[in-house]
Structure 1
Amino acid sequence: MSTPFGLDLGNNNSVLAVARNRGIDVVVNEVSNRCTPSLVGFGSRNRYLGESGKTKQTSNVKNTVENLKRIIGLNFKDPEFDIENKFFTSKLVQLKNGKVGAEVKFGGKTQIFSATQLTAMLIDKVKHTVQQETKSTIADVCLAVPAWYTEEQRYNIADSARIAGLNPVRIVNDVIAAAVSYGVFKNDLPGPEEKPRIVGLVDIGHSTYTCSIIAFRKGEMKVLGTAYDKHFGGRDFDRAITEHFADQFKDKYKIDIRKNPKAYNRILIAAEKLKKVLSANTTAPFSVESVMNDIDVSSQLSRKELEELVKPLLERVTNPISKSLTQANLTVNDVDFVEIVGGTTRIPVLKKSISDAFGKPLSSTLNQDEAIAKGAAFICAIHSPTLRVRPFKFEDIDSYSVSYTWDKQAEDEDHLEVFPANSSYPSTKLITLHRTGDFRMEARYTDPSKLPKGTPATIAKWKFTGVNVPKGQDFVPVKVKLRCDPSGLHIIENAYTLEEITVQEPIPLPQDAPEDAVPQFKEVTKTVKKDMLGMTAETFALNPVELNDLIEKENELTNQDKLVAETEDRKNALEEYIYTLRAKLDEEYSNFASDAEKRKLKNMLTTTENWLYDDGDDSTKAKYIAKYEELASLGNVIRGRYLAKEEEKDRHLEQTKKLRR
């Protein structure tokens, strides 16, 4: 049985949660952290994923890719590319399909990976983390993504999960996942017939600021309005601090960290730590050793100075709040509570700005770092066929209007707005078309001018076959089932032709009719389903061939990483055995080896040690095992004698104790 897995794919850190033991648990990683760095690094032989990538980031800055969620589905020529590019230390390049990829040096040669591949690498890493920690099978996942993700980006993130060997049962907006955590675990919500509790839920993470206005009742919630600022987050605060010190160090130490990526990255990492310190203190020291040119730097920053540095950011705080309230047709007076999540909401001046915008105090009953992952895990559990969870109904809203178009045939119109802007989903609509033969349909954004620049207007295309028009008819009615699914994807579930048939239906007898009255019938014309149509879809999802190729590639890289790790383990085991055996040979093993055996074994140890630090520094797993076994062939004989003697002593001691009793 698969354990439901919820993934908050953060821009800086990802949080993993699973539904088990009648609850939701956050999974710690290999170093016992409750969040995992969202980055992928590349080395000479293997990849550095998560924690290992963060450890090596400073020394491997050009081959470390972060901000993965920002470039997935992004066009290289998108106006926003320049905004994103400044946050990357690795080189971003244009792929054949016009999307953004990363160029890194891996395995001694330059390689290019798409954002979908890079994200899959991280997802594969955290999947294995969950498997090892929970000792269970992980097959299904619910992924939490930014509310501003387009349909294309949702398909891309789903493909990343599939490349990592997971089934993405649902793609959910991160603020909705947090809201589910609130709705499921809050015990004081109004009943079904009572006035709903209106909550403003503000999520400010590493790169994005989202505000949703949500109505809660027991067992259900509905989004009334959502707005966001996709370029407002913790990384903007970090960069403001870094730029401040870059100017200061240029005057004070005559160094320009902007010209040295490693130096800039070191100051950026230190700036993030300083930001956190200033959330609890009014002033804090700042120092980094050997930033560049062997120069140590030091300074300090006060909370007031930080607030002045980020003043342009703070002026943008009210915009998403105002927009979401307008969308919900509410005012700040209609909001009962304001909940905050996301690490950046810990900054005091930002909390004050949000509180002032709503005109009321803030609540933080949710865990600011883990609420999204826990909500995603609960949503994944809802989709599990084997788990029973507390019933909870929730609806999100679509930010953009979506219309469906089709071939002009018969007397039909050729388009229809099916899912208006701000309409709730999941949602299903049935439409009837009059068709004269096989036809095509498209899902399109109704007003492309309202989309983020660079977003394709066409969402998906379908081709339908098998339309047979009976003789004597000009057309045949076709029923098409359109759906905005739980992941916010606009799809067509099926289509089928209709036909009219005549049936005999009994006419109801009057109440005073005699018992032997003969039943009467009437002819009734009914429209019924006739033939299911063949359907071929063209979406943003990878085609099966491309998907399988990328799955195989990821499996190869995973096996390669595993082999490198195992080889390093065998090398370390050999090195440890050399030092341990040499020490014991002169101590506890001394009386259990002849002088000839000692000389021979010491020579073997010295020879192997010299090989290990020379030709054997970069050898194979099999070679390290062979060297180990060569030493152990004699070392274990001596160890065996020692253990036998120790066992004899223990038996003698036990017999002595028995005699004394």
Structure 2
Amino acid sequence: MSEAASVCGFDVGSENCYVAVARQGGIEIVLNEYSQRSTPAFVCLGGRQREIGVSAKQKHLMNLSNTFFAIKRLVGRQFNEVNQHEKLPFPIEQSPSGEVAVRVWINDEEQQFTATQLLAMLFSKLRQVANMPVDCVINCPSFFSDGQRQALRDAALISGLNPLRIVNDITAVGINYCFYRLANVASEDTAIVAFVDIGQTTTQCGIILFENKKNLMQVLSSEYEPNLGGAHFDELLADNFIEQYKLKLNKRARLRLIAECEKLKKLMSANSNELPINVECLYDDRDFSARMSRAHFEKLAEQYLQKIEQVFRRSLETAKKTLANISKDKDKPAELKLSAVEIVGGSIRIVAIKRLIKEVFGIEASTTLNADEAVCRGCALQCAMLSPSFRVSRDLQIIDYAPYQINCKYWHATIPEGKTYCVNPLFSRGDQMPFTRQIIVNCHSLPMIFELEYVTDSKSTTVIGQYKIYSSQNLPVNGNKVRVRVRLDPNGFVYVSSAMLQMDEKNTKAEVNNKGDNNENQERSMSIDQEMQNDVNSSDKEPSAEQKEKEKEKDENKRNKTAQIELEIESLWTRGKLSEAELLKYKETESYLVLADKNWKERMDARNELEEYVYEWRNRLEEGRYDMFVLSADRQAFLESLNQTQQWLYEDEETGNIGSRSLYVDKLNGLKQKFSDDIMFRVKEYETRNTFLEDLGKAIQMAHKLLESKECADEAKLKQLHQTATEIQQWFDNCHHVLSSQPLNVNPSITTKQIQEQTNHLQSLIRPIMEDIHRKRQEEERKKKEQEEKLKKEKEGKDKGKESSNENKSAAEEPMEVDPSAKTE
């Protein structure tokens, strides 16, 4: 596996999915087998093959009841939790565990698949697109509960992935913005940016605080509308046309109308004029035509737009409160001043929504982020930060936003009809995440049962999971306290992380292993101690400084006299999480389906190859392209065999009996060996023969030139070359005669392979003679060069001697100067 594929981010939406990898210092979107950046989130089951992605969406209208999409919205939910107003075009049922499931007929048997298994199929497809990675980061909406996040993680595990982190959509967009766009708006050390994400079925809005010096990113608010997105606007338009024109549409026709309404909605985002919508043969062979303007559309969607506006305003108010709580100066809290409002999501292009953003936030919507790929890129960046094999430019600290209030209940399992004690809330909505809270309870007996539950938007409670705290040793626990830590981790999972029993040292038995007094000081996460004396919640009044000092001294004295013993924790039940046995079973089922898909693809490829062979060769024979290379009887027999094969293929297709891969391969090889291989052999021989003959003729000419040349002194080599060249010359002359007299519709008696062998044999004798001649010429050139250099040096020596003698002679013959005034004696 390549390093690039090992750091991967997945954005799984209701309509489309995106895959990003960290590669070459940046983030790249991976293209699927159709060279598309997005892969439809569709799974089509039925027959003997699964269709996932583009092919599944193409077959949607032909297989409505067995084509599933928006699977992510069903994951981790019980059957009775799915509201009736959620219009699903495919039937669902209840699984034995109470989950949402579908029933299909596949591989000649009826099978039931849960929503988690369907999502695992989609993950398997995305994993193939990403070149089979293992470590990854996947996204989820901010409103996903603990059970939905657990099911999302299990779906990834079933497909063979290892999800390092589950990131909220708004958080992923914030990570992407922090790395690539923050420097453009952050003129100061801090920046507050609002993010609006409106997808196919959900609306989310979050406000994030960025602190550059601390490399800190903190989510101040995260609001949402889980059942409002682009698909609802499309259905609104379709329902309006159905009511206005009193259309009586079946399910398939309604989906066609919704698809055209989606196109109309996109056109209205760019054009305010009245625009037409046309659907051919919508129902009863009737065409449908209508018109719609942007103003009329906004009037129809007024109720939806009001809900979106409420999400924006709630997010703004929540962010103000959060900023006031974390402000260092409580008397004068920091003012919420937005630096930008970024929009992402496929449905954010509606003009009315952009106008709402301007009205609520007071800032024009910014489109610097890729509306479709921002979440995916943020997930890939988060995976790169968690991977030890990558180094990112910023060591970003992320503080997320807890989407739900978490409550805790506990009781003693050994006390029948005992009292149940509550801690409400254990985590409040909007608490920082990750977070650890600590509670201290009086323990009368072990084991104790702790139950965690979250409060939904409708103020009802849903159980998350149950945990049993016990000890394998016989400890005198009556009257002692148990310190329990509950963790809200970065994935959004809530669980009991540890439990310590505090005992007096005089009551501690010798065989009990003392775990030390410093364990509680090793917890460095943000924690709040909530002591419960006599199993009653402590007062909310703030103690005075003297009381705090006395309690501190009292705690120190107690600490010196107590020992802490770590208790064991067993998860009895976790909402949405599969057991190890179920997880292994689903993994085996998915592996079997992947193998079945591979086998089916091989069978269909072999069948298509045979069918393509039949069509291609029948066209060749009927066009008469190869008539000169095949006998008339053989041509007729070949055509009959092709027609019989085609009829056999059609019969199998009609009955649905698709044979094995080896059956089609054997059938294809039989036709090739009996007919087409001989024809193509003759064609190839005819087309390439002249080239090989020319090469052989050139080799014979070269041999004759060498024999006539006197440069080679090796008589043995020349004699062997003369004998071989004579024999090949005779064979060459005979070859022309034989080939010219032989018809083209039979296999030639002399093949190009034989001609090439003769050429190679002759060249093997020519080559060493040529090398000898080349060496001889090099030696002669070397000697000639040496002789020239020697003569040059001798000439230079003579020239120097001649110059010196001339100098002496000129000095002797030089005339003396005579003074005319001098007298001679």
Normalising by structure 2, what TM-score? 0.70
Query: Structure 1 CA distance, aligned partners of 2:698 and 2:59?
Result: 57
Equivalent-residue separation in structure 2 for 1:83 and 1:615 (angstroms): 44
Distance 2:613 2:36 in 1: 31
Query: 1:442 touches 1:458 (CA, 8 Å); kept in 2?
Result: no
Paired residue type of 1:25 = E
Alpha carbon RMSD of aligned pairs, Å? Answer: 3.1
CA distance in 1, matches of 2:304, 2:698: 78
Identity of aligned residues (%): 31
Residues 309 and 451 (structure 1), Cα distance of their counterparts in 2 relative to 1, 3 Å cut: closer
Tell me the equivalent position of 2:94. Answer: 94
The residue aligned with 1:599 is 636
Q: Which residue of 1 aligns with 2:8?
A: 5
SS in 2 for 1:613: helix
Tell me which amino acid in the other structure corresponds to 1:602: L
Question: Which residue of the partner structure matches residue 623 of structure 1?
Answer: 663
**Is 1:361 aligned with 2:401?**
no
1:312 to 279, 292, 303: 303
Does residue 296 of the first structure (1) align with residue 287 of the second (2)? yes
My pick for the range that moved more, 492-501 or 607-616, is: 492-501
- Closer/same/farther in 2, CA of residues 653 and 324 from structure 1, 3 Å limit: farther
What is the aligned partner in structure 2 of residue 83 from structure 1?
Answer: 85
Q: Please tell me whether residue 228 in structure 1 is matched to residue 268 in structure 2.
A: no
Tell me if 1:279 matches 2:269.
Answer: yes
- The Cα shift of 1:593 comes to 3.2
CA distance in 1: counterparts of 2:175 and 2:116, whole angstroms: 27
Per-residue CA deviation, residues 229-260 of structure 1 (Å, 9 max, x unaligned), is 1122101110111112212442xxxx411xx0
The answer for the alignment partner of 2:191 in structure 1 is 197
Aligned with residue 168 of structure 2, among 173, 180, 186: 173
Aligned to 1:639: 680
Instruction: Determine the C-alpha separation between the residues in 2 that align with 1:98 and 1:656.
Output: 84
What residue number does 2:56 align with?
53
User: Shift of the alpha carbon at 1:55?
Assistant: 0.4
Correspondence 1:609 to 2:600: no
Unaligned stretches of 5+ in structure 1? 132-136, 504-523
**Number of the residue aligned with 1:511:** none
Give 2:243's aligned residue.
Answer: 247
Other-structure match for 1:423: 431
Q: Answer yes or no: is 1:590 the counterpart of 2:627.
A: yes
User: Is 2:374 the partner of 1:371?
Assistant: yes
Post-superposition CA distance 1:119-142 (Å, at most 9, x none): 1111111111222xxxxx411222
Provide the C-alpha distance between the structure 2 equivalents of 1:431 and 1:191, rounded to a whole number of angstroms.
40
**SS of structure 1 residue aligned to 2:119:** helix
Q: For 1:296 and 1:216, locate their aligned partners in 2 and report how far apart those are by CA, in whole Å.
A: 54
Alignment correspondent of 1:36: 39
- Equivalent in the alignment of 2:617: 581
How far, CA to CA, are the matches of 1:187 and 1:100 in structure 2?
A: 42
Q: Is the 8 A contact 1:249 1:256 kept in 2?
A: no
Of the candidates 193, 200, 204, which is equivalent to residue 210 of structure 1?
204
**Residue number in structure 2 paired with 1:482:** 486
In the other structure, the counterpart of 1:334 is: 337
C-alpha contact 1:287 1:296 (8 A) present in aligned 2: yes
105-114 or 625-634: bigger deviation: 105-114
Mapped partners of 1:381, 1:108: distance in 2: 43
Deviations 1:536-585 (A, max 9, x none): 44212100111111111122222222222222221111111112223444
Q: Describe the shift of the 1:437–1:385 C-alpha distance in structure 2 as closer, same or farther (beyond 3 A).
A: farther
The separation in 1 between residues aligned to 2:694 and 2:192, in whole angstroms, is 75
Of residues 466, 471, 491, the one that matches 2:495 is 491
Mapped to 1, the partners of 2:515 and 2:289 lie a distance apart of 90
Which one of 374, 385, 404 corresponds to residue 408 of structure 2?
404
Structure 2: state its 5+ residue gaps. 324-334, 506-513, 517-558, 703-825
Bigger relative contact order, structure 1 or 2 (CA pairs below 8 A, ≥6 apart)? 1
Report the 3-state secondary structure (helix = DSSP H, G, I; strand = E; otherwise coil) of the residue aligned with 1:83: coil
Q: In structure 1, how many angstroms separate the alpha carbons of the residues matched to 2:475 and 2:306?
A: 66
Q: 1:633 to 1:496 in 2, by over 3 A?
A: farther
CA shift for structure 1 position 418: 3.7
The residue identity in structure 1 corresponding to 2:635 is K
Number of the residue aligned with 1:134: none
Q: Secondary structure at the match of 2:369?
A: coil
Structure 2 CA distance for partners of 1:308 and 1:109, relative to 1, 3 Å: farther
Structure 1 position 397, deviation (Å) = 1.2
Partner Cα separation in structure 1 for residue 600 and residue 67 of structure 2: 19
Contact between 1:396 and 1:425, CA under 8 Å: does it hold in 2?
A: yes
Q: 8 Å contact 1:15–1:26 — kept in the other structure?
A: yes
The question of whether the paired residues in 2 share the 8 Å contact of 1:183 and 1:220 is answered with no
- Pick aligned residue for 2:141 from 146, 154, 172: 146
In structure 1, the partner of 2:766 is none
Work out the CA distance in 2 between the residues paired with 1:183 and 1:310. Answer: 34
Write the distance in 1 (CA, Å) between the matches of 2:653 and 2:220: 65
Amino acid at match of 2:672: A
Q: Distance in 1 between matches of 2:348 and 2:80?
A: 32
Deviation for aligned residue 1:23: 1.3
After the TM superposition, which of the residue ranges 205-214 and 533-542 deviates more from structure 2? 533-542
Instruction: Describe the superposition over 1:2-55 as per-residue Cα deviations: whole angstroms up to 9, x where unpaired.
Output: 612211111111122122222111112221221111121223222221111110
Q: Distance in 2 between matches of 1:530 and 1:643?
A: 86
- Secondary structure of the equivalent of 2:271? coil
Amino acid at match of 2:93: V
User: 3-state DSSP class of the match of 1:123?
Assistant: helix
How far apart, CA to CA, are the structure 2 residues paired with 1:536 and 1:356?
Answer: 49
Q: 1:105 to 1:18 in 2, by over 3 A?
A: same
Secondary structure of residue in 2 paired with 1:89: coil
Q: Map 1:459-478; keep pairs closer than 5 Å.
A: 459-466=464-471, 468=473, 474=478, 478=482
Q: 1:556 — aligned with what? A: 592
Match of 1:568 in 2: 604
Shift in CA distance, 650/581, structure 1 to aligned 2, threshold 3 Å: farther
Post-superposition CA distance 1:455-482 (Å, at most 9, x none): 75321211233254667x7566655443
Partner of 1:514: none
Aligned to 2:254: 264
Shift of 1:437: 4.8
Query: How many Å apart are 1:179 and its aligned residue?
Result: 1.0
Q: Is the 8 A contact 1:191 1:217 kept in 2?
A: no
Say if 1:117 and 1:160, in contact at 8 Å, map to a contact too. Answer: yes
Aligned 8 A contact 1:477 1:497 in 2: yes
CA distance in structure 2 between the aligned counterparts of 1:560 and 1:195, rounded to whole angstroms: 56
Moved more, 42-51 or 69-78: 69-78
Corresponding residue SS for 2:348: helix
User: What is the distance in 2 between the residues matched to 1:151 and 1:13?
Assistant: 24
Residue pair 2:385, 2:391 contacting (<8 A) in 1 also: yes
SS at match of 1:188: helix
Distance 1:470 1:583 in 2: 89
- SS where residue 409 of structure 2 aligns? strand
Corresponding residue SS for 1:213: strand
Partner Cα separation in structure 1 for residue 24 and residue 155 of structure 2: 29
CA contact (8 A) 1:144 1:171 kept: yes
Whether the aligned pair in 1 keeps the contact of 2:6 and 2:136 (CA below 8 Å) is no
- For 1:539, the equivalent position in structure 2 comes to 574
* CA positional deviation for 1:425: 0.8
The amino acid that maps onto 2:303 is P
Letter in structure 2 aligned against 1:114? T
CA distance in structure 2 between the aligned counterparts of 1:4 and 1:542, rounded to whole angstroms:
26
Contact 1:6–1:143 under 8 Å retained in 2: yes
